[in-house]
Amino acid sequence: MVDSSNLYETWQLVCNQVKGYDSVNPVQVDAFFSRLQPQAISDGFLIVTADTAFIKSQVERRFMTTIQQALKDLFGIDYLVEIEVDPMGDAGMPVQMAAPVAAPAPMAPAPIPAQPFVADLAQNQAVANEMQPAAAPAHHSGTTQPIAPVQAQPAPVEDAGETGGNVMFPVTAGEETEFVEQILPTPRGAETRRPRNAVNDTALLASALTFETFVVGNSNRLAYSMAVAVAEEPGKKNLNPLFIYGRSGLGKTHLLRAIQNYIIATNPQMRVVYIDSSEFLSDYTAAVVAHDKNKDSYLNFQNRYLDADVLLIDDVQKFQGKSATVDIVFQLFNKLTDMGKQVVLAADRAPKTIDIDERYTSRFNSGGTCDIQPPEVETKLGIIKGFIEEYRSSENAYGIDVPEDIQMYIAEISSSNVRELKSAVTKVISQITYFNNPDISLPDVRVLLENHFLSGANKRLDVASIQKEVERYYKISHADLVGKKRSRNIAYARQVAMYLCRQMLDIPYNDIGKRFDRDHSSVMYSVGQVEEKLTKSRELQEEIELIMKNIREN
């Protein structure tokens, strides 16, 4: 019999039971269940509330069967489980995470005045000069451009014609989605127009990159929660703009696309624009080049972005060194945020380490800012399991089995780059299927993946070898490097060593801190200090390059 008088203790018992199953990732349970509150329980019935409709749908889809199994295992009877949305919920942010992002942002400098977009042809020419000479305009008309569907039905393609258009459909999941062309008939009488949520004809709407397919772990939980909050309530002041940063392959693009897909599915009246910085540069250059023939080219360029309710810009670090283009971006940025429209930015480094005008850096930081750290082993294992399930489903190959010891081996030896991780799993699956090797063993996989990872040469490295080379280079003892001394030369060497561990080993801050007798925040600070100095000091850049070379060779 269930004890209904101790509701929270009983709910905690259920949560622990769920996390104990082999098929469940405990980190993901914590991420989603932290946003549930038990309301009532009796024999055969449980009701809990979620803080948003999104969390309700996710828990129902991912964990409902497991929750019911846990209840049956604990109390011996079948249970009906109801999940309702709490109208007083925190609009998408978990309780324990609300504080860092809900606090008022520091006062930013006065917004940069929004100047007429085409007031200065010299500026236009400066933007053109920033582009590579061979850069081609990003906007093209035609029916063979790839537009992928958001859900089940694809959006019509501009100028598709009476007999239909060519549409590119995704055939694999994940960030490395490939597209194949299919012919779609155009319904009689249907208009052939640009989809409302397309940036231009070359935009790829990566429908596989959703919140459902994003694996949540300790390394990315805050970024995930902020992204969900923005998707559920675009334009919320304390998260506008939202700036997500982290190294390549950690899931930044996935989160931007997930925001895009979620808003399109739940708020189809809103216009969402996703653009990579390189595409933006090409798009603007096309407008500059076309100005002599078409005086509306600048206005058309401007309106394409100002008409957006949500603007997502990826890889903004590529604007570094392109001052004229940055001015254009921030005219857009200020106009959109002043109108209460949402802006989301992503980069491979923190805002303060992007070499642009300080006024712009402060604007980057005026909303919510969060980083995605390299995934820990548990998160990588969750990604592997999810990818295997995606493969089984997409290929109708439910008999494919990758042994648990092989999955764990891949998770442990892989780098932080999710693309590399998925390609390693694909390589193993290919060995099982195409080479008819269903009984593949761990020794076989070790040989198969020996030279797979780009950072494979670094996998022989460890914290100790990096510490040893830094100590040799700066002529300090190991005791000083990991000790409490704060003299300038020792503190400097310690920061460099922590930075190199982060760069070369792809391990979380906390793991680095343990080897330096420091906590997570101290390592983050040290890495940030070195990253900031690297943008200004060529001497430090050369030092780092030399030390890394010595580490690899010794």
252 among annotated binding-site residues = yes
The CATH code belonging to domain 121-133+206-371 is: 3.40.50.300
pLDDT surpasses 60 at 428: yes
Query: How many angstroms separate the CA atoms of 517 and 524, rounded?
Result: 14
Confidence of residue 296 (pLDDT cuts 50, 70, 90): confident
What pLDDT does residue 323 have?
73
pLDDT surpasses 50 at 248: yes
Q: How many CA atoms lie within 13 A of 123 on its CB side?
A: 15
146 CB-near residues (< 8 Å, 6+ apart): 167, 168, 179, 181, 202, 204
Q: Percent of the chain scored above 70 by pLDDT?
A: 74
Query: How many angstroms separate the CA atoms of 422 and 386, rounded?
Result: 10
Tokens matching residue 554: 């010794």
Q: Which residue has the tokens 């549930």?
A: 36
pLDDT surpasses 60 at 395: yes
> Do 402 and 388 contact (CB within 8 A), yes or no?
yes
Higher-scoring residue by pLDDT: 28, 483 = 483
Residue 136 DSSP class: P
> pLDDT digit string (tens) for 301-312?
888 888 899 999
Instruction: Tell which residue, 502, 504, 545, has the closest CA to residue 526.
Output: 502
161 among annotated binding-site residues = no
Name the E strands within 127-241.
165-170, 179-184
253 among annotated binding-site residues = yes
Q: Which of 83-87, 160-164, 257-261 has the highest mean pLDDT?
A: 257-261
Give, in order, the Cα–Cα distances in Å from 320 to each of 107, 137, 139, 275, 427.
24, 21, 23, 17, 37
> Do 253 and 108 contact (CB within 8 A), yes or no?
no
Q: Which of 160-169, 192-201, 321-330, 481-490 has the highest mean pLDDT?
A: 481-490
Q: How many CA atoms lie within 13 A of 473 on its CB side?
A: 23
Higher-scoring residue by pLDDT: 178, 246 = 246
pLDDT surpasses 60 at 321: yes
Confidence of residue 120 (pLDDT cuts 50, 70, 90): very low
Sign (positive/negative) of CA torsion 279, 418, 222, 371? negative
What pLDDT does residue 325 have?
75
Higher-scoring residue by pLDDT: 408, 451 = 408
What pLDDT does residue 5 have?
67
Tokens matching residue 228: 């969900």
Query: How many angstroms separate the CA atoms of 411 and 272, rounded?
Result: 35
Instruction: Tell which residue, 93, 70, 88, has the closest CA to residue 20.
Output: 70
CA–CA–CA angle 261, 266, 270 (5° rounding): 80
- On the 0-12 / 13-18 / 19+ scale of CB atoms within 10 A, 436 is exposed
Tokens matching residue 76: 């011996």
Tokens matching residue 416: 């932080």
The CATH code belonging to domain 377-456 is: 1.10.8
Confidence of residue 352 (pLDDT cuts 50, 70, 90): confident
Q: Looking at this protein, which amino acid is placed at residue 330? A: F
> pLDDT digit string (tens) for 34-65?
889 898 888 888 999 988 888 888 899 889 99
Q: 36 forms bridges with which residues in the sheet?
A: 50
pLDDT surpasses 70 at 110: no
Strand, coil or helix: 208: coil
Average pLDDT value for residue range 147-158: 35
pLDDT surpasses 90 at 14: yes
Confidence of residue 351 (pLDDT cuts 50, 70, 90): confident
Strand, coil or helix: 378: helix
Q: 93 forms bridges with which residues in the sheet?
A: none
> Do 495 and 531 contact (CB within 8 A), yes or no?
no
pLDDT surpasses 60 at 152: no
What's phi and psi for 457, nearest 5 deg? -65, -25
Domain positions in the chain are 7-89, 121-133+206-371, 377-456, 461-553
Query: How many angstroms separate the CA atoms of 389 and 30, rounded?
Result: 21
Q: 85 forms bridges with which residues in the sheet?
A: 50
pLDDT surpasses 80 at 396: yes
One-character DSSP codes across 445-483: HHHHTTTTSTTGGGGG--HHHHHHHHHHHHT--HHHHHS
Neighbours of 316 (CB within 10 A): 24
Query: How many angstroms separate the CA atoms of 228 and 34, rounded?
Result: 15
Tokens matching residue 315: 């890889």
Query: How many angstroms separate the CA atoms of 52 and 60, rounded?
Result: 13
What pLDDT does residue 460 have?
59
What pLDDT does residue 495 have?
94
What pLDDT does residue 255 have?
95
Query: How many angstroms separate the CA atoms of 357 and 315, rounded?
Result: 17
- On the 0-12 / 13-18 / 19+ scale of CB atoms within 10 A, 3 is exposed
Q: 179 forms bridges with which residues in the sheet?
A: 170
Strand, coil or helix: 553: helix
Confidence of residue 3 (pLDDT cuts 50, 70, 90): low
> Do 231 and 263 contact (CB within 8 A), yes or no?
yes
What pLDDT does residue 168 have?
36
Of how many residues is the chain composed? Answer: 554
Instruction: Tell which residue, 341, 290, 329, has the closest CA to residue 115.
Output: 329
CATH superfamily placement of domain 461-553:
DnaA protein, C-terminal DNA-binding domain (1.10.1750.10)
**H or E, element range at 313:** strand 310-314
The CATH topology of domain 7-89 is: GMP Synthetase; Chain A, domain 3 (3.30.300)
Higher-scoring residue by pLDDT: 172, 123 = 123
246: region left, alpha or beta (phi > 0 left; psi from -120 to 50 alpha)? left
Residue 137 DSSP class: P
Domains 121-133+206-371 and 461-553 share a fold: no
Give, in order, the Cα–Cα distances in Å from 57 to each of 64, 65, 85, 92, 385.
10, 13, 10, 13, 21
Q: What is the mean pLDDT of the chain?
A: 75
Instruction: Tell which residue, 42, 46, 43, 52, has the closest CA to residue 15.
Output: 46
